[in-house]
């Protein structure tokens, strides 16, 4: 089971590397702290 999880994580990481990490790009632009009061 652990090997299946590791393999799945590796496949997802390869997909992110291939397509780029769009969440990381957005993180550089958005001030997420502005949403904290809404989500609290």
Instruction: Report pLDDT digits (tens) over 6-35.
Output: 888 888 888 888 888 888 889 999 999 999
- For residues 40 and 34, give the distance between their C-alpha atoms in angstroms, rounded to a whole number: 11
Q: Give Cα separations from 19 to 7, 23, 25, 34, 37 (angstroms).
A: 19, 11, 12, 28, 32
- For residues 34 and 27, give the distance between their C-alpha atoms in angstroms, rounded to a whole number: 13
Whether the per-residue pLDDT at 1 is higher than 70: the answer is: no
What integer pLDDT is reported at residue 13 of this predicted model? Answer: 85
Whether the per-residue pLDDT at 39 is higher than 70: the answer is: yes
Angle at 17 between CA 11 and CA 19, to 5 degrees: 105
What integer pLDDT is reported at residue 20 of this predicted model? Answer: 82
């Amino acid at each position: 089971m652990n090997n299946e999880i590791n393999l799945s994580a590796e496949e997802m990481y390869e997909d992110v590397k291939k397509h780029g990490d769009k969440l990381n790009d957005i993180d550089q632009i958005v001030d997420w702290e502005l949403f904290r009061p809404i989500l609290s």
